[in-house]
Amino acid sequence: MKKRLLTLGTALLLGFTSLVANAEESAVEAFHRILSQHNTWTADFQQVVVDANGRPLQQTTGSIDLQKPDLFRWETDEPYAQLLVSDGKFVWLYDKDLEQVTKQPLDRRATATPALLLSNDVKAIEKSFDVQGRTDGNGLWFFQLKPKDKESLFTELRMSFKDSSLQEMSFSDSLSQQTRITFRNMEEDVMLPSNLFKFTPPEGVDLIEQN
């Protein structure tokens, strides 16, 4: 059985401070302002997972589509083909090789599903994370988010933006593994078909429902 690693992120080996360029704007306010500029995102990505010693464990490519609120579709290509879909109520994980689908209620905590950060609930962000950030003054922004919830699936999340366009994400888990993601062909505010965020299990697959 292949080991499955479905995570988000990219390494940003840069320092962070609790202040941003505009002294009147906090890091969480800057983060909220950037995220509030778009309602949909679609992009291709390259994902790399490394262990605590920096050794690569897995490298995949795929695509991502998101729409406010709570809708996303995350698909990885062969040889680790997986599809993760949120329809706003449930999250569906389809593992093609294993012929298995897992269905569970959507956990709207951003610490449970990093993609939900793009849903832009600033109160949830402040409640769930300690946010630090900085800018280079030329439209490039770097943010570091540390979950307040000790049961979070990750210990640190980093994101970088060029103006308001997401460039990279990364996060580290409790085992010190790091998932790094670089986005390309990013488009914002494009019309996405509604059926993109609907999922019907293929015939013959095992369905596992979790509460």
Residue 2 covered by a domain: no
Instruction: Output the domain CATH number for residue 146.
Output: 2.50.20.10
Residue 88 covered by a domain: yes
Q: Kindly list the strands in the beta sheet with 129-135, ordered across the sheet, starting from the edge strand earlier in the chain.
A: 129-135, 140-147, 156-162, 165-172, 178-188, 40-50, 56-67, 71-76, 82-87, 90-95, 100-105, 206-209
72 has a pLDDT exceeding 70: yes
Q: pLDDT tens digits for 88-125?
A: 999 999 999 999 999 999 887 666 666 667 765 667 77
Dist. CA 87–CA 106, nearest whole Å = 9
Residue 211 covered by a domain: no
Residue 210 covered by a domain: no
Dist. CA 211–CA 209, nearest whole Å = 7
| Domains in the chain, number | 1
- As a residue count, the chain comes to 211
Mean pLDDT for all residues in the chain: 83
Q: What percent of the chain has pLDDT over 90?
A: 51
Q: pLDDT tens digits for 41-64?
A: 999 999 999 998 889 999 999 999
Q: pLDDT tens digits for 149-198?
A: 877 778 889 999 998 999 999 988 878 889 999 999 999 999 999 899 99
Residue 153 covered by a domain: yes
Helix (H, G, I), strand (E, B) or coil at 195: helix
- C-alpha distance across the termini of the chain, in Å: 25
Q: What percent of the chain has pLDDT over 70?
A: 83
**Residue with the two structure tokens 């488009």:** 187
27 has a pLDDT exceeding 50: yes
Helix (H, G, I), strand (E, B) or coil at 41: strand
Residue 19 covered by a domain: no
The residue segments making up the domain with residue 137 are 27-199
The model's pTM is 0.80
Tell me the three-class secondary structure of 110-167, residue by residue: CCCCHHHHHHCCHHHHHHHEEEEEEECCCCEEEEEEEECCCCCCCCEEEEEEECCEEE
According to the model, what pLDDT value does residue 126 have? 79
23 has a pLDDT exceeding 60: no
Residue 13 covered by a domain: no
Residue 11 covered by a domain: no
CA angle 157/160/162 to nearest 5° reads 165
According to the model, what pLDDT value does residue 149 have? 81
